[in-house]
Structure formats: structure tokens, C-alpha cells
Amino acid sequence: MVSATDSLQQNRKGGSRLKVAVIGAGYWGPNLARNFKASPDWELSGIVDMDVSRALKIAGPLGDVPVFSSLDELLAGTDVDAVAIATPARTHHMVALQALDAGKHVLVEKPLAASRELGLAMVDLAAARGLTLMADHTYCYTPAAIKIRQLVEDGELGDILFIDSVRINLGLVQPDVDVFWDLAPHDLSVIDFIMPGGLQPESVAAHGADPLGTGKSCVGHLTFALPNNAMAHINVNWLSPTKIRQMVIGGTKRTLVWDDLNPQQRISVYDRGVNFEKASTTAAQRTAQAISYRLGDTWSPALPEKEALGLMVAEFAASIREGRPSRTSGIAGLRVLNVLEAASRSLENDGEKSFVANSDVQLEGTR
């Protein structure tokens, strides 16, 4: 059995660069390759794509990185510590399982797999081999998301009352997934990242429309409950002529707005909201609510200008060296898959609530 604790891995725990190959030279692969090449933690040792000419176009500007036509060829031709998978979603599990079986740490772009069952097989194998399986939930590594998580943890927003997220644009209709599986993983992964306890709704309701007749939802709305009777709503759309990337997080103390398309003020925190003062009437022992509104200051925290993918590849290296789950582990990716699968079932049943599979996956040694 190949193990991540072999002599090669032990040698690289001391601080020397880890070797990685990027699998897939399409849309996302070049971004991963560029960031691995620029990272002090990594040595970019290969680019894999069935279309070798496409891989060569990426490899040349990065210093003529070796190119391989298949994962088999890569594994036979060079030794790497890890692979980063940027292939179509339906192939993620096949590539990941082969790499894990060969003793390689694995980073997978969203979604982790095409189904919970396939994602769970990946998580199981990584745990059995003592390897890091990490989901490339890129938005969780943005300075904005990191700051939001800190504000939530510190109680600056109070108890969360609602999360409303909008991710719409005139986008490419994907050939293999609907708009929920294409866009919603970003919003779901961020909610999983910032909420204490992660993303664990009991059920979800999804409504979609296909006005173009593509055979899949091009416009969609997803809703589910959050702890303490709070609610989350996600709006995804491939057909909007305007591009919006905005998340509103309302709390009992403050409300936060994350506008990812506003580089001058990505986060705004509003000390505005509704105050509830509960008072029981002695006669009927009923609870009345006195409602008042507060109109306080608005402020915008300073954020460092750092590329999310750069922070992500650094986290991948740190999780391997420290032998710990990454910030967006395979189990985090599985929690997102649970919600996506439930959303698909809800769509099939005309928007009826669909129960979400148990997200409390605990596997000894899972990384």
C-alpha cells in the first residue's frame, strides 16, 4: 500500500518545496498552474491534458513545464507529491481515486464530485491512505471571506438572522450541469466556511426555470433554514445581462454586505436593523413585541490585496506538511454536495422540501 508517510514525503516535510501536477488545461487549470508556479511552497512538475497542444500553451510561458497526455503517463514519468484536478465535474472522482490510490495528495476544483456517493468514496480513500483531500472552494480564500468569518466568530454581527446571496450574470450554459451545480457551490462553500458548525441544513427547497429549453435549469432559487430560525436564500442565474456577486448577512447586531465586484469597498458593515424587546402581559401571559429601528454608522474594514488562489495553494501545502484537514477539506466539499443533491431532488419534485443527507461525516484520520 502506498502511503503519504514514505521517505519522499518525510523529506519534504522539512520545508523544501512539494511537487505538484495540474490535471486539466481548460478554463481553470491555467489559473492553478500559474499560482503553483509562483508559490514558494510548490514546484510545478507537470501539466496533464488529453489535448497536448493545449497543455503546451500553458507550459511554455511557465518555463516549459513538462506536459503529459494522461495521469498514467504522469505517474510513470515523474514523481509528484500532489495533483490538482481541473477536469469536468463528472470525471473528478475517477481522477481523484486514481491519484489517491497512487499515494498522491489531491486538490479538486468545485464541485468535489458529481454525487455524494462518489465524493464519499474519495473522502474514504483519502482517510484510509492518510492523504490530504482538499476542495478548491476558491471564494473561501478571499480576504473578504476570511474577514467575514472572523467578524462572525467574534460576534460582531450578533446572531445570524438571514443570509441572502445573489450570483447572476450572462454566463455560459454548461453542457453537463445545471445552474445550481455550476454557480451555487461558491455560495454554499462560503456559508459553510463562515457559519459556526458549517453548512448543515436539514432540508432545502429549490425552484428552477429553463426558459431557453436547454434541458436544465438556467435560473434558480435555493432556500434552507439556518440555526435559530434563520434563513438562507441563494439566487443563481446564467441569463442576467448584469453581473452581480453579492452576499448580505443580517445579524441581531449588524448587517454585512459583501459586494465582490466593488474593489474599493468589498465589505460594508451597517449598524442598522430592527430591535425587538419582548414583554409578557401578565393578564393573558402572552408575549408582545415592541419594535424599534436603529440607524447607526456604516464602516468598511480594510482588506489585504491577496489573490485567493495564492492563499489556497499555500493552505494546501500547509495541510500536507502539518498533517491536518485543510480549511476546505474533502468533508467540507461533501457538505456542499449534500445540499446540491437535495436541491436536485427538490427540483424533480416541483420545489418540495428535500432532506439533506447527514453532514456529520467523521472518519478517523481524514484530512
Judge contact between 148 and 208, C-beta under 8 A. Answer: no
Q: Which residue has the cell 414583554?
A: 279
Query: Residues 177-194: what's their mean pLDDT?
Result: 96
Please state, in angstroms and rounded to a whole number, the distance separating the CA atoms of residues 28 and 48: 13
Span of 189-203, 210-224, 292-306, 325-339 with lowest mean pLDDT: 292-306
Whether 202 shows a pLDDT value over 90: the answer reads yes
Q: Which residue has the cell 476544483?
A: 109
Q: Print the SS3 string covering 221-266.
A: EEEEEECCCEEEEEEEECEEEEEEEEEEEEECCCEEEEECCCCCCC
Domains of the chain: 7-137+309-355 (3.40.50.720), 140-304 (3.30.360.10)
Q: How far is CA 88 from CA 25, 54, 95, 277, 334, in A?
A: 11, 16, 10, 52, 17
Helices (H), ranges, the chain = 7-12, 29-38, 52-59, 71-77, 92-101, 116-129, 143-153, 179-194, 308-322, 330-348
Whether 281 shows a pLDDT value over 90: the answer reads no
pLDDT tens digit sequence for 231-263: 999 999 999 999 999 999 999 999 999 999 999
pLDDT tens digit sequence for 52-70: 999 999 999 999 999 999 9
Query: Who's near 129: CB < 8 A, 6+ residues apart?
Result: 1, 2, 3, 4, 100, 101, 103
Judge contact between 197 and 359, C-beta under 8 A. Answer: no
The pLDDT mean for the chain works out to 90
Whether 121 shows a pLDDT value over 80: the answer reads yes
